[in-house]
Amino acid sequence: MISVSVVGASGYSGIELVKILVRHPGVRIDRLFANSSAGKHLADVAPLFGKTVDIVLEPYSIDKISESDLVFIALPSGEAMNLVPAMLSAGKRVIDLGGDFRLQDTSLYERYYKRTHSASALLKQSVYGLPEWNYSHIQSASLIANPGCYPTSAILPLAPLLKEGLIESNGIAVSSLSGVSGAGRSASVEMSFGEVNESVRAYKVGTHQHIPEIKSVLESFSHTQVKLTFVPHLLPITRGIYTSTYATLANPVDEQIILAVYEKYYASAPFVRYSATAIPEIKNVVYTNFIDIGFRINPEEGQLILLSAIDNLIKGAAGQAVQNMNIMFGFNETEGL
């Protein structure tokens, strides 16, 4: 049994984390922190916890996590770097669901996140928490950078094909559509459902903070330079991400070759489902930690079309964080999920 705390427990990802943690047989929730809702019971903020979780939300301070083996940080990017140094100094293991420790290059962080990184000395210590690719490093990590939701949906389909040289590393185009919960609970008016409903639109075109994450992680896994375009869009739904990726084939292939590559890398990955026939749909992955991957080959154009779907709050955030926790502490990877 391990003791865990959640900083940012009243946000979308924080609430999803608590939902998973309360049913995990190997976990005891120590403290839940939410500065803006401090003093309220969790059920006052999220009524679904009524008569099941009787915990009062608290303002965060380092002394309050003395009994915690692990701390989840479910705060907007820019917050974790102010908290993590003291947590690590206190001997705590940390999983950050924000973007502060995903990029090893501080210049990229400052360019795309528009702020100075105050804990850059810890970047080399952080482990990118994509279990299907970094399992052994996650086991011994003290600081996990939980992947972004868009990057999870793009990297998992692409990485095996790039590593095996089946697709060209230049000219990759990634188009992703996300439900509005991806913007967080305190999102701006333009990200609200009332503004998005009955419409679809792109946003942060060419400037989205997940561009360098997708590119740098793919380069790290495949050991090749990658050039790609990433365009995110908002969908008039609450949760889910649908990603379509277009790549040029390095050589002619058939479906069995693609499937064999996915089998090589993901046969033992409990949350990766892939098919040459089924087209992924958001409705089949919401409220789960699965990613569904499909593909189509266009032999006339020498092109491969990849399709993937995830729940942005589960596999794209809280579920993947718990998957990382399970690996760190020796639980079954699927426990609680």
Is there a contact between 27 and 21 (Cβ–Cβ < 8 Å)? yes
Alpha-helical segments (H) within the chain: 12-21, 42-45, 80-89, 106-113, 131-139, 149-163, 193-196, 210-222, 255-266, 319-328
The helix/strand/coil state of 178 is strand
CA dist 197 and 287 (Å) reads: 21
Please tell me what DSSP assigns to residue 206.
Answer: T
Beta bridge partners of 5: 31, 71
Q: Edge-to-edge, what's the strand order for the sheet holding 172-178?
A: 201-202, 228-234, 172-178, 241-248, 303-310, 291-298, 272-275
Please tell me what DSSP assigns to residue 318.
Answer: I
The active-site residue, picked from 138, 143, 149, 235, is 149
- Cα 101 to chain center, whole Å? 13
**What's the distance, Cα to Cα, between the start and end of the chain in Å?**
17
Name residues whose C-beta falls within 8 Å of residue 276's C-beta, 6 or more positions apart in sequence: 255, 258, 259, 294, 295
Neighbours of 78 (CB within 10 A): 17
Which H helix or E strand runs over 31?
strand 27-33
Q: Is 328 a catalytic residue?
A: no
Residue 25 token pair: 């047989």
Is there a contact between 30 and 18 (Cβ–Cβ < 8 Å)? no
Name residues whose C-beta falls within 8 Å of residue 261's C-beta, 6 or more positions apart in sequence: 160, 161, 164, 166
Residues involved in catalysis: 149
